[in-house]
Amino acid sequence: MMTRQGLQTVLVTGAAGFIGSHLVDALLRQNLRVVGLDNLSTGTKSNLATAMEHEAFTLIEGDIRDRETVEQACDKAEVVFHLAAVTKVAESLRDPQKYHDINVTGTQNVISVAVNKQVSRLVFTSSAAVYGAPAKIPIPEEIPLNPLSPYGASKVEGERLCHEVADQHNLQAPQLRCFNVYGPRQPIDNEAGVISIFLHRARQGLPLVIYGDGHQTRDFIYIEDVVEAFIRAATLDTVSTQPINLGTGTAVSIRELAEEIQDQVPSCPIDIQYEAPRTGDIYHSVARINRLQRTLDFTPRYALRNGIAKTVEF
C-alpha cells in the first residue's frame, strides 16, 4: 500500500479496539507517526502491545467527548481515522442516550476539531446497521436507510455530519460501512462477533448456538482487508465522499459458518445447537461492493476459510 507523499502523522480514535489496534499496527509498518486516542472502556492496552514498543506511537487515554483531549490528540495530524464508538445493538436499545452522546456528539466533536486543525482527510467508520432489514440483496449504498436500532441511527447521523463538513469545509470525509468484520483480537461480548464467539466455544468443546434456522446470511470480511481499505480511503489522491460498503460481496449462511468452524477446530468435538430466533435479527445481509472496487480500486483478498484459518492460528 502506498501513502500520499509527505504524509507523516495520523490520529486513530478508538485505537485500542479490535479494528483500531490492527490499523495502528499497519500504519506503524508504513513508517508513520501514529497517535492513538482511546478511553479504554471497551478497547484494551493489550491490543496495542506491539505498538506500545514503537517510538513512533503515542497513546492518549481520553474520551472523544472531551474537546481539549481531542485537540491534544489531533495536534499535527494530517489524517484522522475515526473509529471510536459504542457498537452493541442490544445495549443501544436499552440506553439510546449513551449511543447518541458517544457516537453522535463525540463524532461531531472530532469533526469540529479536525476542521479547526486543518486536517486534510477524516475516514469515518460507519456500519451495515444503517440499512436495517434491506429490501434488496446484495445491498447497494444508494438504497434508503432504515436503521432498526439507536446504534444504526447514530451511524446514519455520523454520515450526515461527514457530508456536511465535506460540503462546507476543505475536509474530505469518506465513510466506510463495515459489514461483519472478524479476525484476531475480536472480543466475544459483541453480538456482531459471531466468528469469535463460535471459535471461543469450539475451543471449549461447547455447542455452537445458532439462533433461528441457520439459513440467515452475513457478509464476513477479514480484518486485514478492512485495514487495507481504510488506508486506501486515507491515502488515495482523491476519494469518493459517498459512503462505501466494506464487505466481500459473498453471502455465507450461519450454518455454513458453523460447519467451517467445526472443520477447522477438529481437536474439539463440537455440536451445532439451534435456538429460537432473536428479536430484531436481520435475516439476510450482504454487501454490493462495486463502489469499493471502483473508488478504492480494492477487492477483498481473504476468503472465509483463509481468514478463519489465520484467526485460529492466532
Per-residue pLDDT of 229-247, as tens digits, reads: 999 999 999 888 899 999 9
Per-residue pLDDT of 109-135, as tens digits, reads: 999 999 999 999 999 999 999 999 998
Q: Evaluate whether residue 264 is within a structural domain.
A: no
- In-domain check, residue 125: yes
Would the pLDDT of 226 be above 80? yes
**Structural domains in the chain (count):** 1
- Options 99, 151, 222, 302, the catalytic residue: 151
pTM of the model: 0.95
What is the percent of the chain where pLDDT is above 70? 97
Q: Is residue 44 part of a domain?
A: yes
Q: Which of 79-88, 153-162, 191-200 has the lowest mean pLDDT?
A: 191-200
In sequence order, the 6+-apart residues with CB closer than 8 A to the CB of 160 are none
Asked if pLDDT for residue 263 goes beyond 60, the answer is yes
Contact 212, 281 (CB under 8 A): yes
Question: Within a domain: residue 137?
Answer: yes
**Residue 269 resides in a domain:** no
Q: Taking residues 179-193, what's their average pLDDT? A: 88
Evaluate the CA torsion angle 4, 229, 138, 294 in order and state its sign: positive
Residue 229: which domain range? Answer: 9-178+223-246
- Residue 10 per-residue DSSP state: E
Segment 66-76 shows an average pLDDT of 97
Whether residue 272 lies inside any domain: the answer is no
Q: pLDDT by residue (tens digit) across 268-290?
A: 778 999 999 987 789 999 999 99
- pLDDT above 80: residue 1: no
Q: Say if 102 falls within a structural domain.
A: yes
Q: Is 151 labeled as catalytic in the residue annotation?
A: yes
Q: According to the model, what pLDDT value does residue 279 have?
A: 78
Helix/strand/coil for 58: strand
Q: What is the CATH number of the domain that holds 148?
A: 3.40.50.720
DSSP assigned state of 231: H
Residue 244's Cβ-count burial label (10 Å; 0-12, 13-18, 19+) is buried
Average pLDDT score, the chain: 94
Q: Is residue 190 part of a domain?
A: no
Q: How far apart are CA 61 and CA 107, in angstroms?
A: 17
Q: Which three cell numbers stand for residue 199?
A: 471459535
